[in-house]
Chain A
Amino acid sequence: MSWLLDNFTLVTELALQHARLSAVPIVVGLLASISLGWLAHRVRAARLIVLTSFSLIFTVPSLALFVLLPLVLNTRVLDERNVIAAMSLYAIATMLRGAVDGFDHLSPGVTRSATALGYSPTGLFWKVQLPLAGPVLLANLRVVSASTVSLVSVGALIGKGGLGYLFTNGFQRNHPTEIVVGIVAVLLLALSFDVVLVLVGRAALPWIRNLGGTSPT
């Protein structure tokens, strides 16, 4: 406990870095999964290409990605953008199939009657199809959030891993307390991300609490 108090500034700094390194890929993952997922939902040829390529990316070990990305992005090996890019790719790979499923399983009856009301294709997407895919997107996003927060720690191997530093450093110094503090901090961070997502989801998708909630009169 005294270790934590002595190093509180360091832990806070690492936690903030960890939060930043996680938040960007989560947002990128969401936006890219919606766009690519919609493309895959609409265009049969795109579906195979997009889904297959992200399945393949998922099989590349993270450490190998850290080595490869500087070559592709023309960044320095120790640049934190490498971590953000790698985490974004994993986030998309995790979420994409769920997003496609979410769009695939929209009720054709609702889409048809909304079209008959006179929604334009753009209006239909923003006002009807995207909100209705919301619950599925949110469920997938929560998985992405948890896995990203935990995966970012691996970035410590190239010096940009937020709280992951406490693992590598604690291991090198044979200092279990530091490692335990790191684990608890990562868990708390993942938990707070999840709470934020649930609250945002509740505000954005108010109707899902009322699906069959009260009996009709």
Chain B
Amino acid sequence: MIEFVGVTKTYDGGAPAVDNFSLRLAPRRITALVGSSGCGKTTLLRMINRMVDPTVGRVEIDGEDIAGRRPVGLRRGIGYVPQDSGLLPHRRVIDNISVVPLLNGATRAAARLRASELMAVVGLDPALAHRYPAQLSGGQRQRVAVARALAGNPNILLMDEPFGAVDPIVRADLQQETLRLQHELRKTIVLVTHDIDEAFLLGDEVVVLRPGAQVAQHGTPADILADPADSFVAAFIGSARGKRRLTISAQRSVDGADRVVVDAGGYPVGVIAAPEGRLPVADPTPRSRGAQVVG
């Protein structure tokens, strides 16, 4: 379990990037930190693997202040996926994924075996194993980055705008893949994003941040959508623009069973099956998150 306790980070006497931030993150869940550029969300993420140390306060993992841990050892036990994949350009795909097992003392053969397994786990064609990162597409590079982050079998995975640099179709694909993986692996994932739709899709819990990493609201996507804490959150999630406020159109489909759903601007966003005019009721838990949480 990760906990921030009264954390402040100030760079060279400027305004604090993070100002007295406290938060307990749900273990084995995806917590999405979402906010505009410069709100301090990436700084928070980097405090978890000591890429950044707090000026004041502490970060605890399983109750232990990580300021007492050697950064190098701490980082080897935490997966990290940056926006630009961060792959080593001079190492082949298989060697990139092998880095952490090798740093942790695995033999070359064991590390390679582990890397091959992980390529399968993240859906990479084994034929790509001996390519260099420059020979991959953006989506493939991000898959390699995820495989590399998982290679050390960490409990914690940090994802910093992991799908921000790929096109929308690939991004949607990678998001689904992340949900599928998390369904199997159940890691404690901290996801930083400025994309509220991504936060709602992937986050079991969502933390909406103002500048200075001030928590505007913390809750499940459903809580935040149903009851935005204030006008800042409402504006951020788009309900103020009417994007989330949906109504059923007066227009019916030909057979009369499907009804068109429109947003507040009157633009169609989807259809809803309403046999005999009755609206269906869904289980509020997304399918990918329905499994029992162990531990």
Complex contacts, A107 vs chain B, CB 8 Å:
89
A210–B133 CA distance with the chains assembled, in angstroms = 9
Q: Which of the residues B75, B84, B88, B137 comes within 8 Å of A116, measured between beta carbons?
A: B75
Q: For residues 91 through 146 of chain A, which have their beta carbon under 8 Å from a beta carbon of chain B?
A: 107, 109-110, 112-120, 123, 128, 131-132, 134
The reply on B134 being an interface residue by CB < 8 A is: yes
Q: Which of the residues A119, A212, A216 comes within 8 Å of B72, measured between beta carbons?
A: A119
Complex contacts, A118 vs chain B, CB 8 Å:
72-76, 100, 103, 152
Asked whether A210 and B75 contact (CB < 8 A) given A110-B89, A116-B49, A205-B90, the answer is no
Complex contacts, B76 vs chain A, CB 8 Å:
117-118
B86 touches A114 (CB 8 A): yes
Complex contacts, B73 vs chain A, CB 8 Å:
118
Asked whether A116 and B135 contact (CB < 8 A) given A128-B88, A207-B90, the answer is no
A205–B103 CA distance with the chains assembled, in angstroms = 22
B135 touches A216 (CB 8 A): yes
A207–B89 CA distance with the chains assembled, in angstroms = 8
A117 touches B80 (CB 8 A): yes
Interface centre among A114, A116, A123, A214 (most CB of B within 10 A): A116
Closest partner residue, chain B, to A120 (CB atom): B72
A216–B68 CA distance with the chains assembled, in angstroms = 44
The reply on B232 being an interface residue by CB < 8 A is: no
B132 touches A115 (CB 8 A): no
A112–B100 CA distance with the chains assembled, in angstroms = 15
Task: Output the least CB separation between B291 and chain A (Å).
Answer: 29
A114–B100 CA distance with the chains assembled, in angstroms = 10
Closest partner residue, chain B, to A214 (CB atom): B135
Complex contacts, A131 vs chain B, CB 8 Å:
90
A119–B88 CA distance with the chains assembled, in angstroms = 12
The reply on A61 being an interface residue by CB < 8 A is: no
A117 touches B103 (CB 8 A): yes
Interface centre among A114, A118, A128, A207 (most CB of B within 10 A): A118
Q: For residues 59 through 117 of chain A, which have their beta carbon under 8 Å from a beta carbon of chain B?
A: 107, 109-110, 112-117
Q: For residues 186 through 213 of chain A, which have their beta carbon under 8 Å from a beta carbon of chain B?
A: 205, 207, 210-213
4 closest A-B pairs by CB: A113-B86, A118-B76, A118-B75, A116-B80
Residues of A within 8 A of B (CB): 107, 109-110, 112-120, 123, 128, 131-132, 134, 205, 207, 210-214, 216-217
